[in-house]
Chain A
Amino acid sequence: DSGVTQTPKHLITATGQRVTLRCSPRSGDLSVYWYQQSLDQGLQFLIQYYNGEERAKGNILERFSAQQFPDLHSELNLSSLELGDSALYFCASSVDTRNTGELFFGEGSRLTVL
Chain B
Amino acid sequence: DAKTTQPNSMESNEEEPVHLPCNHSTISGTDYIHWYRQLPSQGPEYVIHGLTSNVNNRMASLAIAEDRKSSTLILHRATLRDAAVYYCTTPRHSGNTPLVFGKGTRLSVIA
Contacts and interface: CB of A to CB of B under 8 A. Distances in A.
The answer to whether A binds B is yes
Interface of A: 2, 4, 33, 35, 42-43, 45, 48, 50, 55-56, 58, 90, 92, 97-108
Given A42-B102, A45-B99, A45-B100, A99 B43 contact: no
A50 B96 contact: yes
Contacts of A92: 43-44
B24 interface: no
Given A48-B98, A99-B91, A99-B99, A104 B46 contact: yes
A33 B89 CA distance: 16
A88 B46 CA distance: 18
Given A56-B96, A58-B98, A98-B93, A103 B36 contact: yes
Interface residues of B, number: 24
Interface string B64-81: 000000000000000000
Contacts of A33: 98-99
Given A99-B91, A100-B32, A103-B36, A55 B43 contact: no
A48 B97 CA distance: 9
Interface of B: 31-32, 34, 36, 38, 42-46, 49, 87, 91-93, 96-104
Nearest to A101: B49
A60 to B, nearest CB: 12
Contacts of B92: 99
A39 B79 CA distance: 26
B84 to A, nearest CB: 13
A92 B100 CA distance: 12
Contacts of A58: 98, 100
A59 to B, nearest CB: 10
